[in-house]
Structure 1
Amino acid sequence: MPHSAFSDTLGRVKPPDHRCLIVDDSTAFCVAARGVLEAAGMTVVGTASTLATAIESARSSRPDLILVDIDLGGESGFDVVEALHDDDPRFTMILVSTHDEEDFADMVESSSAVGFLPKFELSADRILGIVARERNGA
């Protein structure tokens, strides 16, 4: 097999193996997000659709990252983020939504989440960028 710059690049672009929990009441989104994240080399350790199952899943799976939908039907993703943070402040959480970030900018900023990602922009690169920005204090 001929050697190429492209094949050299393949080994370097895979993101580190992050363990991710998805909290969303949409089964379709959970399936799609799992596919996107696992295709990029991330491990999805589970899904949850309520505050109670999110806490239970986070405690048992100890994810590196938790994606939390802002609108969980009868519950608020902001409440889930704060409950998870109260349970363990080391959890890294990103809020996701089909709504525009501007709709929730102040609430996202004052929450314990490290950032916001529109669902239609979901990718491992975007997630890792948000996490890196937070860790670098930007």
Structure 2
Amino acid sequence: MLRCMIVDDSRWFLDAARVLLNREGVTVVGVASNGAEALRRVEELRPDVVLLDIDLGGESGFELARRLQREDGRQTARLILISTHDEEDYAELIAASPAVGFLPKVTLSATAIRGLLERRDGVDHADRFSGPRGT
């Protein structure tokens, strides 16, 4: 079972994404709405994947991604940046970040997460999901 945490400043999005991903077989172990909370919760919950909004109101998701990367260069979880903005708008920042990739919020699903992870590391993550694979 893939364990996921979502970091976003929109309570509505956090609630909707949690319901969607849980229904699709991803266990959402926690949510955070700001950087300090995210750092604390990632350390506490140890998720496999963190979905991180690039625009957290007054905070930068890109800066938070760097802070979530440990000092020794390893991350406690794989980071996936998410946004309502187009990927092209932030392509250079996404490429320079420690994230494994980017997903537009409108395409967020267990299938999209699994596909991104598979493309990134060449491993089939289907066995990490107990629910339906989606369409």
Q: What are the ranges of 5 or more consecutive residues in structure 1 without an aligned counterpart?
A: 1-16
Matched, 1:25 2:9: yes
What's the offset of the Cα at 1:86?
2.5
Q: Name the TM-score, length of structure 1 as normaliser.
A: 0.84
What's the offset of the Cα at 1:95?
0.3
Name the Cα RMSD after superposition.
1.3
What's the offset of the Cα at 1:50?
1.1
Report what 1:48 is aligned to. 32
Equivalent residue of 2:50, what SS? strand
Structure 2: how far apart are the matches of 1:85 and 1:130?
A: 19
Q: What are the ranges of 5 or more consecutive residues in structure 2 without an aligned counterpart?
A: 124-135
Amino acid at match of 2:99: A
Amino acid at match of 2:7: V
Report what 1:11 is aligned to. none
Percent of paired sites with the same residue: 50
2:80 touches 2:100 (CA, 8 Å); kept in 1? yes
Higher relative contact order (CA 8 A, sep 6+): 2
Report what 1:84 is aligned to. 68
The partner residue of 1:112 within 94, 98, 102 is 98
Structure 2: how far apart are the matches of 1:112 and 1:26?
A: 23
What is the number of residues matched between the two proteins? Answer: 121
Q: Name the TM-score, length of structure 2 as normaliser.
A: 0.86
Larger radius of gyration: 1
The partner residue of 1:133 within 96, 119, 135 is 119
Structure 2: how far apart are the matches of 1:113 and 1:28?
A: 24
Matched, 1:67 2:51: yes
Report what 2:132 is aligned to. none
